[in-house]
Amino acid sequence: MSNHLDLHLTARGYLIDFLVTNTAPSVDQQELREVLLFLNNLITFDEINLMKEDVEGI
C-alpha cells in the first residue's frame, strides 16, 4: 500500500504546484479553488478506497 500512498502524496504535490503557478491576477481564483478542492476530494476518496481494499484483503 505504501506505493499507493506515495502516489497520493505525489498527486497532492502536483495540486500544490498547480496552485502556486496559477496565481496570476487573470486566473479566476474562486474557480481555481473549486477545481483544486474537487481534485483533492477525488484523491482522498481513492485513497480511502485503497485502504478499505487493503483491510478487506481484496
pTM of the model: 0.61
Per-residue pLDDT of the chain (58 residues; tens, 9 = 90+): 455 557 777 877 887 787 777 777 787 888 888 888 888 888 888 888 888 888 887 5
Cα separation of 37 and 1, whole Å? 24
Query: CA angle, 26 as apex, 21 and 31 as ends, to 5°?
Result: 75
DSSP state of 27: S
* Domain ranges, residue 31: 4-56
Helix or strand holding residue 2 (H, E)? helix 2-21
Q: Is 55 helix (H, G, I), strand (E, B) or coil?
A: helix
Number of domains in the chain: 1
